[in-house]
Structure 1
Amino acid sequence: MVIIKKKMEVVTSNYSAVASNLVTNSIASCSQMNIVDESINLSSVCSDDQSNCIPTDDVEGSNQPNMLHILTDIGNIVEQDLMHFQQFPNDPSIILNSRMSTEQFAYVASLQPCQPKASELKGGIFPSKMQGKWLRSFHEEHYYKKLPSGEFIKRNWISYSPSQDKVYCIVCKQFGKEDAKSFQLARFGSDDWNHISFKLKSHESNSVHLESEIRRAMFVNTTTDVSNIEQLSLVIRFINENEEVEERLIALESVADARGIGMFNVVCNICQKYDIDWENQLCAQSYDGASSMQGQYSGVRAYIQEKNPRAIYVWCFSHILNLVVVDTCDTSKTMRNFFGDLQSLIAFLRARKRTAIFLNNQKICYPEERVCRMKNFSSTRWTSHGRALTVILDKYKAVMNTLEELSNSTERETSSMASNLMSTISSFKFVTHLLLMRNIFEHTTPLSMYLQSLSLDFITALTMIDNCANKLSELRNELHLDALLAEAKRFSLENELEEIWFPEKRVQRRKRMAGENTNDEIVSNPKDDFKIHVYYTVLDQISTSITTRFEGSREILSDLTLLSVDRLIATSKGCPIPEDSFVYLDKWIPNLQIDQLKLEYSTFADNFLKFKSNIVIEKLHDKVIISESEADTSADSDQGNNEVTETKMT
Structure 2
Amino acid sequence: MGTDGVLCFHCSKYFKTGKPAQAKSIDPAFVSTGFKNWKKALEKCSMHERSEGHNIAVTTAAYENRPATTQLSSGVSTQQAENRASLLKIIGGEMFLARQGLAFRRHEHHQGNLDQLLKYKAEDDQSFTRWLSAKRGVHTSWDCQNERINLMSSSIIRTIADEIQSLPVLQYSRIMDGTRDISGVEQEALCLRYVDTDLLVHEDFIGLYETTSTTGENLARIILDVLLRLNLPISGLRGQAYDGASNMSGMYSGAQAVIQRAQPLAPYIHCGAHCVNLITQQACSASSVVRNALDWIHELGTFFGQSGKLKDKFKAIVAAEGEGPALSIRPLCPTRWTVRSPAIRAVLSQYGMVLNALDEMAASNSGSASRAEGLRVRLQQGNVVLGLLLALDVISELEVLNASLQKNTQTVEGMLSAVSLVQESLKSQRNTEHFEAVFKEAGDMCDNLSLETIVPPRTHRPPERYSDQLWIFTE
With the length of structure 1 as denominator, give the TM-score of the two structures: 0.40
Indicate which of 388, 394, 412 corresponds to 1:434.
388
Equivalent residue in structure 1 for 2:108, among 114, 117, 120: 114
> Quick one: structure 1 residues 112 and 237, their matched pair in 2 at CA, closer, same or farther if it must change by over 3 Å?
same
Letter in 2 for 1:326: Q
Question: Which whole-Å deviations, capped at 9, do the CAs of 1:275-316 have from their partners, x for residues lacking one?
Answer: 9764x5432112245443235676423443456442123455
Aligned-pair CA distance for 1:437? 1.2
Match of 2:148 in 1: none
SS at match of 1:439: helix
Q: Hey, what does 2:211 align to over in structure 1?
A: 254
What TM-score do the two structures reach when normalised by structure 2? 0.53
**Distance of aligned partners of 1:460 and 1:292 in 2 relative to their CA distance in 1, 3 Å threshold:** same
Pair member with larger Rg:
2
Distance 1:306 1:222, change over 3 A: closer
Write 1 or 2 for the structure with the bigger share of helix: 2
Secondary structure of the residue aligned to 2:209 is strand
Question: Is the counterpart of residue 230 in structure 1 residue 183 in structure 2?
Answer: no
Distance 1:398 1:475 in 2: 30
Matches of 2:339 and 2:209, distance apart in 1: 32
Alignment partners' CA distance in 1, 2:279 and 2:457: 33
Query: Which residue of the other structure, out of 339, 364, 367, is the alignment partner of 1:409?
Result: 364
Unaligned stretches of 5+ residues in structure 1: 1-108, 118-139, 153-220, 506-522, 548-650
Q: For residue 295 of structure 2, what is the aligned residue in structure 1?
A: 340
SS at match of 1:374: coil
Q: 1:411 to 1:151 in 2, by over 3 A?
A: farther
The offset of 1:441, in angstroms, is: 3.1
Q: Aligned runs of 1:151-162 on 2, under 5 Å?
A: none
Partner SS state of residue 283, structure 1: strand
Q: Could you tell me which amino acid in structure 2 is paired with residue 286 of structure 1?
A: A
**Match of 1:113, as an amino acid?**
H
| Alignment counterpart, residue 438 of structure 2, candidates 474, 480, 484 | 484
Deviation of 1:502 after TM superposition, in Å, equals: 0.8
The one-letter code sitting in structure 2 at the alignment partner of 1:525 is R
The whole-number CA distance in structure 1 between the counterparts of 2:270 and 2:343 is: 27
Q: Percent identity?
A: 24
1:302-341 matched pairs, under 5 angstroms: 302-305=257-260, 308-314=263-269, 317-331=272-286, 335-341=290-296
Correspondence 1:539 to 2:471: yes
Cα distance in 2 for partners of 1:342, 1:312 equals: 41
Structure with more contact order per residue of length (Cα contacts < 8 Å, sep ≥ 6): 2
1:201-241 Cα offsets, whole Å, 9 max, x none, are xxxxxxxxxxxxxxxxxxxx96455xx5533355556899x
Deviation at 1:422, TM superposition (A): 1.3
Determine if the alignment matches structure 1 residue 352 to structure 2 residue 308.
yes
Cα distance in 2 between the residues matched to 1:365 and 1:325:
35
Q: Summarize deviations over 1:115-137 as a string: whole Å, max 9, x none.
A: 679xxxxxxxxxxxxxxxxxxxx
Is the 1:443–1:468 contact (alpha carbons within 8 Å) kept by the matching residues of 2? yes
Per-residue CA deviation, residues 312-362 of structure 1 (Å, 9 max, x unaligned), is: 234554454334323334446665443332211112123433222112212
| Farther-moved stretch of structure 1 (266-275 vs 345-354) | 266-275
Partner Cα separation in structure 2 for residue 365 and residue 408 of structure 1: 20
1:495-506 equivalences under 5 Å are 495-498=449-452, 500-502=453-455
Shift of 1:447: 3.5
How many Å separate the matches in 2 of 1:349 and 1:488? Answer: 24
Question: Per-residue CA shift, 1:511-533, capped at 9, x if unaligned?
Answer: xxxxxxxxxxxx443647x82xx
TM alignment of 1:44-193, pairs within 5 A: 113-114=107-108, 144=116
Question: What is the root-mean-square deviation in Å for CA atoms of aligned residues?
Answer: 4.5
Q: Is the 8 A contact 2:300 2:331 kept in 1?
A: no
